[in-house]
Structure formats: structure tokens, C-alpha cells
Amino acid sequence: MHEERGGVLGLFGGTFDPLHVAHLRLAIEAREALGLAEVCFIPAGRPALRDAPQCAAVHRLAMVERALADLPGFSVDAAEVLDPAGRPSYTVETLERQRLLHGAQRPLVLLLGADAFARFEAWHRWRELFGLAHIAVATRAGHELKVGAGNTALDREFAARQGDAADLAGASAGRIVCFAITALEISATAIRRRLALGLGVRYLVADAVLDYIDSHQLYRTSHGH
Ligand code: ATP
């Protein structure tokens, strides 16, 4: 056990363009289901495998900070979103950096949606991720895990590494754990689209995020900010 080193730390990366309530529920439910001491949100600077975010890094960061402001047990790591070089964000480099910050012993758990995990083999140096952190995959109705039954390299890793929440504290990295979350069919893409059309997004995002979007007039046109 490594409890004396601060407990199991969840790491939740994303573009958060903008942060919405399904992101928040994933983190909250992960903390409960997996017994995490804390969940750290890590907004990406320039995501490697997708288009540039519509909204500037400072705004995406500010929305995460505001949403988490009065939520004990949740924090934000701004290092990548504010990277002056604007390098692409690779999860393996994120985890290498976190590993240096927290030491070799602390259990780290990368939190992912099932959709993200299904594309895992396309990620830069993906096999190295297992040596750096545990992986926890959030499943929900309509987005169940499709990995594990076949014979791809990822299927084989999954079969060899699958465990449950109780295994996480006993090692610093290497397990894959699935946990079910409340199904919320919300995406940042749909929120951006609604805002560009002049439609409302109350209750799809935290009130603090809504206030920030309104006061900075974010996403109101398709030109970005
Ligand atoms: P976009 O629509 O711009 O692609 P997104 O809403 O999927 O954005 P991201 O920032 O790309 O948000 O996602 C960060 C993480 O949150 C990913 O691991 C993704 O699987 C997860 N996630 C996103 N939306 C949901 C949702 N509705 N339910 C559960 N997990 C989600």
C-alpha cells in the first residue's frame, strides 16, 4: 500500500472545450468508485490527434478552474494548456511529467471514457502508458467497452491487466479497471454547436462555466476566440 504518499491519484486529461457536466460526473464517480484521494484535471494544450481547440487555452483553463473551485478533492494542472511552445499534448508525456512530480511509488490512474480507450492503439507510445499509470475506463449505457474479446494487441493487454478498484492502491501502475458511470449523452461538440446557433446550454455545463462563457462571449460564432 502507498497510502502514506497521498493515496491514489486520478489524472483526467481532455480538451475541455468547454468542460461540461459529463466530464465532472466522470471525475466525481471515478473518485467514489475507485477510492481516489484526488482527481487532477489536465487540460490539453494542443491535442495531438484532433483539430485545434476552438477556444483559447486560457479560457479552457479558466472554465475548469471555476467549475472545480468549491469542489474539494479536485485540482487542475495547467502546465500543458499554458505551454508557451504550444507543443502537441501526448498522454505518454503527460504521464511521464506526472510521474516525476509524484515519485515512482504513488499509484496514478489515468481516467478515460470508453470511446477514448477504444482508440488507444493510435496513441503515441501507447504501450508505455501501462508502465506509468493504471488506466480506468468509464463505461456508460450505449458506450460499453468493446475491447477485450478479440485478439488485437490492446485486447491482449486488457486481458492480462484487467483488475478492479481494490488493486489500484497496491501498485503504482499497470492495471486496467472499468467502472460504470451515469450515462449523460453530452459532448463539447454539441455544446459548441448550440452556442454558435445562439441556443442555451444551462445544465449542460456548470453554472460557473456558463457565467464564464456568457461574460466572454465564447463560442457564439464559428470563428472561435
Ligand atoms: P468533443 O466533443 O470536443 O470531442 P468531448 O465532450 O468528447 O469533446 P473531451 O475533452 O474530448 O470532451 O473528453 C475528455 C474525456 O472525457 C475523454 O476521456 C472522453 O472519453 C470523456 N468524455 C467526454 N464526454 C463524455 C460523456 N458524455 N460521458 C463520459 N465521458 C465523456
Lowest-pLDDT range of 1-5, 20-24, 218-222: 1-5
Q: How far is CA 42 from CA 146, 148, 160, 199, in A?
A: 26, 27, 28, 28
How confident is the model over 187-194, as a mean pLDDT?
98
Other CB atoms within 10 A of residue 162 CB: 14
Q: What percent of the chain has pLDDT over 70?
A: 96
Q: Write the pLDDT tens digit of every residue in 126-183.
A: 999 999 999 999 999 988 888 877 889 999 999 999 999 999 999 999 999 999 999 9
For the domain spanning 9-182, the CATH number is: 3.40.50.620
* Residue 222, pLDDT score: 52
pLDDT for residue 6 is more than 50: yes
How confident is the model over 110-128, as a mean pLDDT?
95
* Residue 48, pLDDT score: 74
Which atom of ligand 1 approaches the CA of 111 most closely? Answer: 18
How confident is the model over 119-124, as a mean pLDDT?
93
**What global pTM score does this model have?**
0.94
pLDDT for residue 12 is more than 60: yes
pLDDT for residue 66 is more than 80: yes
* Residue 224, pLDDT score: 44
How confident is the model over 175-196, as a mean pLDDT?
97
Give 23 Cα–ligand 1 centroid separation in angstroms: 7
Residue nearest to atom 14 of ligand 1 (CA): 14
Place of cell 451515469: 182
* Residue 1, pLDDT score: 43
DSSP 8-state class, residue 172: S
What distance in Å separates the CA atoms of residue 86 and residue 133, rounded to the nearest whole number? 25
Place of cell 468542460: 19
The answer, yes or no, to whether any atom of ligand 1 lies below 6 A from the CB of 177, is no
- Residue 77 contacts residue 97 (beta carbons within 8 Å): no
DSSP 8-state class, residue 179: E
Give 178 Cα–ligand 1 centroid separation in angstroms: 16
pLDDT for residue 109 is more than 80: yes
